Structure 1
Amino acid sequence: MNLGTRKLLDRSFTSVGIGSIVIMALALMVVLVPIVTNGLGAVFFTGTVEHRKMLLSEFNRGDSRELETAIASSDRYRAKVYEMLSGFESEMAAMTPERQDEYRPKYGQVKTAVQALLGPLPGDPEPMLTRFKYGQTRWEKAEEKLHDLLYETKWDNSDPNAMSKEYFANRSESFAGTSLVKLFPYVRENMSNMLLPEFTVYWGFITDSSVDSHIFGGIWPEIQGTFFLAVGAMLFAFPLGVIAAVYFTEYAKSGFFNSMLRSANSTLAGVPSIVFGMFGLAFFINTLKVSESKSVIAGSLTLAIMILPTIIRAAEEAILAVPKTYREASLSLGSTKWNTIATVILPAALPGILTGGVISLGRAAGETAPIIFTAAVSVGSAIGLADVFSSPTPALSWNIYNLASEHEAAAQIRHVQYGMVLALVSIVLLLNLSAIVLRARISKKLKG
């Protein structure tokens, strides 16, 4: 190969490598940017007076005097809405039965939309669910509810050769000639006066428990549960993994038994995570009876079995990377084999071992399938350290899936879903970053 061809190939491979890195970076940006922007919206947003009501009532947080002044200001504008609704009800009572039947379902939709926007109307019974005790707590959701009040969804079926097309019609047209027609422009023009929006920084999203299935409140139980499960898994898996790695590298001899153990370890690394979840339910809960049902301890043991092959492999590679001269020098000075392993080999391999352990910790924090049957619940409060042996816990990974796919109001709590995803991604990234920093510091210390 001549020099010109070699240079051309080198440049080509360099271009392909740089291009791959750029594509991966762009793909990562496409994924992370929506997560970060929408996730931050759970903490930084434009809140309404209804949000301040909720904070004072549910968490006893806020200035009650300032809130009373805001409520009084808001009620002055809301009173006109309630007066229009009451006036139309009186007007409808004087209509013929046929016209009443015509307006009653339409008016029911208007009344429901007003309740969703502003909260319970005067004279309404106390709602059972917390979500119905308040109007819209976030300004962007209030704008969506305003649209639902002002417009009704209709479908155009005029073209038999095409699918029906959705369009929005002014709801006020359905009440033309009645007193209620004035309601719609009034609400549109005075919504900010009725809800008093202001920029809000809600750190309680991280520190508060959820209220009414994450309609309100925060995600602290999920963060704490994730921490308990991941750390618990490491407490079981890390020492066992290091001991197994020491056995494979320092004591095991070539043979059928050793080959079988290595094959089993490699096979475990490729088992789908849902299988570990079923195994944890069958073995730790139903057979060993570590707990009566789901619990943190059962979930931690299941996650420990899942990450154990990764820890063994990482520790094994780190030990094998220690130069043989270290062993030879220690043994030549009269040290025993075990003393050499404990005082020379393991300290030298510590950066690689810790890196593998922290990466495994990040994986344990992000797994969903192994904890579905062993530890996770959809809704729950934060548990104490003494409860890990008997109580299940919410966890970020499981609750993200649950809120996105099974929650009855999934579309209304997108900010909570993205906030959980951002919290989980941040935890995993911080764990990986800590592994890099820890490895660098230990390596520097070992080099002197």
Structure 2
Amino acid sequence: MNLGTRKILDNSFTAVGMGSIVVMALALLVVLTPIVYNGVGAVFFTGTIEHRTMLYKEYGRGDSKTIEAQSATADRYRGEAYRMLSGFEAEMEGMTPEASREYRSKYAPVRAAMSSLLGPLPGDPQPMLTRFQYGQTRWEKAEEKLHDILYEKKWDYSDPTVMAKEFYVPRAEAFAGTKLAPLFGYVDKHLADMMQPQFTFYWGFFTDRSLDAHIFGGIWPEIQGTFFLAIGAMLFAFPLGVIAAVYFTEYAKEGFFTSILRSANSTLAGVPSIVFGLFGLAFFINTMKVSESKSVLAGSLTLAIMILPTIIRAAEEAILSVPKTYKEASLGLGSTKWNTIATVILPAALPGIITGGIISLGRAAGETAPIIFTAAVSVGSAIGIADVFSSPTPALSWNIYNLASEHEMASEIRHVQYGMVLSLVSIVLLLNLSAILLRAKISQKLKG
């Protein structure tokens, strides 16, 4: 091959490599941008007086005098809206039965939207569920409810050749001439006065417990449960993985038995994660009885089995990358084989071993399927160290799926879903960053 052709090929491969990196970076940017943007909205947002009242009553957080003053201002403007509602209800009592029925069917969604916006209306019984005890806690949700109050959604079926199209008509037209007609313009004009919007930094999203299935509150139990499961998995898998790697590299002789073990390890690495979940349920819970039902211990053991092949492989490659002269020099000075492994080979291979371990830790933190049957619950409080042997726990990965697909108010708590995703991504990225920094520090120390 002449020099010109070689240069062309080198430049081509370089261009392809750089292009691949750019494409991967753009793909990562496309994925992470909405996660970061929406996830940050769980912590930084415009909160209403309902949010500040909820924090004070449920968590004892906030300045009582400020909240009372803002509530008094909000109640002053809300009082006029309440008078319009009660006036129209009294007006309906004097109508003919036919007119009363017609207006009541139109009035019901207005009253429901007002209750959702402002909380329980005067005369309503105290709701049992927390979600009905407060109005809209976020300003953007309050604006959505305002739209529901002002407009009624209808469908246009006039063209049979196309699908029906939705459109909105002002509700005020249906109540023209009644005592309720001024309500719509009043609420539209004084929404901010009734809700008292204010920029909010809700750091409690990471430290508070959830209320009413994550409709209010934070995600601390999920964060704590994720760490318990991931660290518990590493406590079991890391020592076993390193020991297995030492056996494969230093003690095992090539043969049928060793070949079977290596094949088993490789096969285990390719098993779908849901299979590990079913195995954990059948073996650790139903057979070994490590706990009566779901528990952090059972979930950690299941995750440990899942990440074990990765740790073995990473540790094995790290040990094999240690120069043979290190081992020969140690043995030549009279050291035993085990002492050479413990004091020379493993310390030299430590950066690679730790890197593989932390990468496996990140994977354990993000897995969902293995903990569905063994450890995770949809709603729960934070557990203590002593409870890991018998109690299940919420976890970020499982709760993200649960809130996005199975929650009855999934569309109302998108900020919680994205906040959980951002938290999980941040945890995994921090774990990988710590692996890079730890590896660099140990490598620098070994070089002296």
Corresponding position: 1:328 with 2:328: yes
The 5-angstrom pairing of residues 150-299 of structure 1 reads: 150-299=150-299
- How far 1:181 sits from its partner (Å)? 1.0
- How far 1:2 sits from its partner (Å)? 3.1
**Equivalent residue for 1:131?**
131
Deviations 1:332-353 (A, max 9, x none): 1111100110010000000000
Deviations 1:63-90 (A, max 9, x none): 1111111111111100010000011011
- How far 1:4 sits from its partner (Å)? 2.8
- How far 1:13 sits from its partner (Å)? 1.8
Corresponding position: 1:121 with 2:121: yes
Give the gaps of 5 or more residues in structure 1.
none
- In structure 2, what is the Cα distance between the partners aligned to 1:6 and 1:334? 51
Residue aligned with 1:137, SS: coil
- How far 1:7 sits from its partner (Å)? 2.3
- How far 1:174 sits from its partner (Å)? 1.3
- How far 1:384 sits from its partner (Å)? 0.3
**Equivalent residue for 1:402?**
402
- In structure 1, what is the Cα distance between the partners aligned to 2:197 and 2:380? 31
- How far 1:9 sits from its partner (Å)? 2.2
**Equivalent residue for 1:37?**
37
- How far 1:179 sits from its partner (Å)? 1.5
**Equivalent residue for 2:82?**
82
Number of residue pairs matched? 448
Amino acid of the structure 1 residue aligned with 2:98: E
- How far 1:226 sits from its partner (Å)? 0.2
Amino acid of the structure 2 residue aligned with 1:418: Y
- In structure 2, what is the Cα distance between the partners aligned to 1:320 and 1:16? 31
- How far 1:5 sits from its partner (Å)? 2.7
Deviations 1:312-362 (A, max 9, x none): 000000000001111111111111100110010000000000000000000
Residue aligned with 2:127, SS: coil
Amino acid of the structure 2 residue aligned with 1:105: S
Residue aligned with 1:155, SS: strand
Q: Which moved more, 1:170-179 or 1:225-234?
A: 170-179
- In structure 1, what is the Cα distance between the partners aligned to 2:268 and 2:423? 29
Runs of 4+ in structure 1 displaced over 3 angstroms?
Answer: none
- In structure 1, what is the Cα distance between the partners aligned to 2:11 and 2:71? 69
- In structure 1, what is the Cα distance between the partners aligned to 2:312 and 2:15? 37
**Equivalent residue for 1:58?**
58
The 5-angstrom pairing of residues 100-115 of structure 1 reads: 100-115=100-115
Amino acid of the structure 2 residue aligned with 1:221: P
- In structure 1, what is the Cα distance between the partners aligned to 2:157 and 2:123? 41
- In structure 2, what is the Cα distance between the partners aligned to 1:93 and 1:4? 95
- In structure 1, what is the Cα distance between the partners aligned to 2:259 and 2:5? 46
- How far 1:3 sits from its partner (Å)? 2.9
- In structure 2, what is the Cα distance between the partners aligned to 1:88 and 1:149? 15
Residue aligned with 1:179, SS: coil
**Equivalent residue for 2:412?**
412
Give the gaps of 5 or more residues in structure 2.
none
Deviations 1:343-397 (A, max 9, x none): 1000000000000000000000000000000000000000000000000000000
Residue aligned with 2:293, SS: coil
**Equivalent residue for 1:4?**
4
Deviations 1:116-175 (A, max 9, x none): 101100111000100100000000110111111111110000011111001111111111
- How far 1:183 sits from its partner (Å)? 0.5
Residue aligned with 2:322, SS: coil
Corresponding position: 1:302 with 2:299: no
Residue aligned with 2:404, SS: helix
Amino acid of the structure 2 residue aligned with 1:310: T
CA RMSD, Structure 1 to Structure 2 (Å): 0.7
Residue aligned with 1:166, SS: strand
- In structure 1, what is the Cα distance between the partners aligned to 2:337 and 2:6? 50
Amino acid of the structure 1 residue aligned with 2:163: M
The 5-angstrom pairing of residues 348-387 of structure 1 reads: 348-387=348-387
- In structure 2, what is the Cα distance between the partners aligned to 1:259 and 1:162? 64
Residue aligned with 2:180, SS: helix
**Equivalent residue for 2:446?**
446
- In structure 2, what is the Cα distance between the partners aligned to 1:192 and 1:99? 34
- In structure 1, what is the Cα distance between the partners aligned to 2:20 and 2:237? 35
Residue aligned with 1:95, SS: coil
Residue aligned with 2:200, SS: strand
**Equivalent residue for 2:98?**
98
Amino acid of the structure 2 residue aligned with 1:366: G
Deviations 1:21-55 (A, max 9, x none): 11111110111011111101000000000001100
**Equivalent residue for 1:391?**
391
Residue aligned with 1:168, SS: strand
Deviations 1:257-298 (A, max 9, x none): 000000000000000000000000000000000000000000
The 5-angstrom pairing of residues 334-349 of structure 1 reads: 334-349=334-349
> TM-score of the superposition, structure 1-length normalised?
0.99
Residue aligned with 2:153, SS: strand
